[in-house]
Amino acid sequence: MKKSVLNEQDYYRKVFGGWLGKNVGGTLGGYDEGKPELLNLTFYPEIPDKPTANDDLDLQLVWLHALEQYGARITSKELGQEWVEHVFFPFDEYGYSLTNLRYGLQAPVSGWFNNPFTDCMGSPIRSEIWAMVAPGAPGVAAYYAYQDAIVDHAGGEGVYGEMFFAAIESAAFLESDRDRLIQIGLSFIPEQCRIANAVKDILHCKEIGKSWIEAREMIVGKYGNYNFTDAPQNVAFTILGWIYGTDFGDCILKAANCGYDTDCTAATLGAILGIIGGAESIPERWVKPIGHSVVVSPQIKGFAVPADLDELTRRTLQVSKEVIAIWNIPVTIDSRSATYVEEDIIRIPGEWIGDYNPRGLLEQSVSVNRYLLPEGAALNQGLEVSIDYGHGGPTVGMTERKKLILTLSNQSKEMWEGKLGLEAPSSWSTEKAPHYQLQPGEKLEWETVIETGGDRQPFYELSFHIHRWHDNSLWNSHTVRFILLSAGYWKLWGPSSTQAIEAVVPGNLLSFSKLLGTEEPGIYKAQTLLINPRKRNVRLIVGTPFPVKVHLNGENVLEDHEMRDFVPGYHRSYMHRLFEIELAEGKHVLDIQVQKGEELLELFVLPVAFTKTKTPGGNYYFTDILFGSADEQWDISNVYQ
């Protein structure tokens, strides 16, 4: 196999330059994050004495720890474990996916289910680590980016954004041509996704001679979203800064001056430019104010954080050696040889040498979880088990019949045979499990129905047993444990309703048009029983753009008559759309009234913690609070605490 050579010192300065550019851009844009207007920055708005703490870098320090902890064959499963252990952010998609992970769900379901932020910037901003440990291998970097992004963005544009940037940054270790790098990035994502279209539109604007401000206005008009973290507009602004900028400073300034998610756009572009040119390409005027320190948010906990960029770079390099070996990447890092790039080694998918193409992963259903057996296997060379949760996703109501599809695929070189079993809570009923016999390459699909009991818990653990036989005797057993969440119960009224409709809701979103079958303007009402197992401070978010009135146990606790843009984040909801209360243990009747206009009515109801908590990491979701029917009787002792 032909191999390129990266001199170790050249590799070091490119990695260091990427991390340094990340800090510079994140600090520049951090002051104006979320402003949707055209900005006029010429330098740091406030002269700093160190980098600004930023989740753009924070999370990549966690991923570095994950690579050190689990090795180069890391997957979304291990990354999900790292989220729960080390990340206490409530921000948008982070908050929703962390809630799912805390319940026990795994990716991609953890990133897809009940998550309104799958199209956002939380994953595109953390692509650099995967590129740096897989230099010159954009397919491998994009694979890691996929494993990362599906934990909290499965099924959304956020996955494409991270794969796009990771591929560019990995290729940038061997390729410096900007236009070629952009095409390499585009080759890894769907041709007609919004990010790809936005990037192609920006390139067209430059080609036909439009100014960068005209190009920005085109993006805002065609792809703009009132949620400033929406990925297509911000990925496009990053590319805008790159193709319209004249040097490092001008590039990151143009990206940041587009507004919206300014820290992310400037930080990612700073990292790309730092990788291409190395640390020495970043002007001293940008470096001197912030230095080489690493500053971490207090919500990132539980592992050894690098003291500075030198330690971060050295640890990144150490991990890369294992990644290069495991993936057989056609790049050698050598301290004694000069950097040499094998001609045309970086090509678009289907043409290049010795790299991996992860595009097929995007075809997998995000509502299905997959497991490899034996447990802990890193390679799919035994039995692959998948669980399709069907209608409503991984949720279930009381006394409900729910269909599950459990699939076994034999990826080994020998026959597997034996008997299956499904273990559920004692009050539930399950169907008799079949025997199985699978030759290599064969697949078995078991479509089964479970019937739940009348008890109520926030979540339920089920076990899928695969008993394996040898010589007609039990040889061993494998168990896949999975979670079903308790659905919410609501009574709903539309403008013309004379009687309530009872609805079982799988998450926190009440979509009235789907549930009631009407979109007529007027007053809509919703009622549920809020079941709280212990006294605590609760921020209850009642999220909708429309005027709203809320009663708790008959008392008016929230009333707002204005229309307001609403983003259903745990941490950044308008004070006009939430109330905070010390909520007593027990059952509380919650009544919500919304004055709907012509637009679609969607209502989020989110019980979260106060912002200030005993330790950093507030606004997290209360996974043990339940939504029940106000007409039903509940035994609070049965609620998980």
Residue list for the binding site for Mg(2+) = 261, 263
Contact criterion met (CB below 8 Å) for 530 and 515 = no
Report which of 360, 366, 172 is spatially closest to residue 273, judged by C-alpha positions.
172
- Sign of the CA dihedral 19, 22, 24, 26? negative
Distances 428 to 199, 400, 401 between C-alpha atoms, Å: 51, 10, 10
Q: Hey, what amino acid is at 208?
A: I
**Do the strands 395-396 and 473-486 form a parallel or antiparallel pair, or are they unpaired?**
parallel
Q: DSSP secondary-structure letter at 66?
A: H
Residues 6+ apart with CB under 8 A from 587: 529, 530, 531, 532, 628, 634, 636
Q: Hey, what amino acid is at 231?
A: A
Known binding-site residue numbers: 261, 263
What SS3 string covers 354-386?
A: CCCCHHHHHHCCCCEEEEEECCCCCCCCCEEEE
Residue 560's Cβ-count burial label (10 Å; 0-12, 13-18, 19+) is: middle
How crowded is residue 293: how many other Cβ atoms within 10 Å of its Cβ? Answer: 13
Q: Give the tokens for residue 218.
A: 């085109």
- Sign of the CA dihedral 358, 356, 77, 162? negative
SS3 assignment, position 415: coil
Spell out the long-range contacts of 571-576 with Cβ–Cβ below 8 A and sequence spacing 24 or more.
571/90, 571/91, 571/92, 571/95, 571/611, 571/618, 571/619, 572/91, 572/92, 573/541, 573/543, 573/606
| C-alpha to C-alpha distance for 588 and 527, rounded to whole angstroms | 11
Contact criterion met (CB below 8 Å) for 385 and 464 = yes
Q: Hey, what amino acid is at 355?
A: D
Beta bridge partners of 628: 529
Cα-Cα-Cα-Cα torsion 87, 88, 91, 94, nearest 10 degrees, comes to 40
| C-alpha to C-alpha distance for 322 and 329, rounded to whole angstroms | 10
Q: Give the tokens for residue 463.
A: 């076990």
Q: DSSP secondary-structure letter at 577?
A: G
Q: DSSP secondary-structure letter at 463?
A: E
Q: Where are the beta strands (DSSP E) in 533-641?
A: 536-543, 548-552, 555-560, 578-583, 586-596, 602-608, 626-628
Distances 572 to 3, 242, 357, 541, 565 between C-alpha atoms, Å: 49, 31, 38, 10, 12
Q: Hey, what amino acid is at 544?
A: T
Distance, C-alpha 483 to centroid of its chain: 19
| C-alpha to C-alpha distance for 390 and 249, rounded to whole angstroms | 50
Beta bridge partners of 426: none
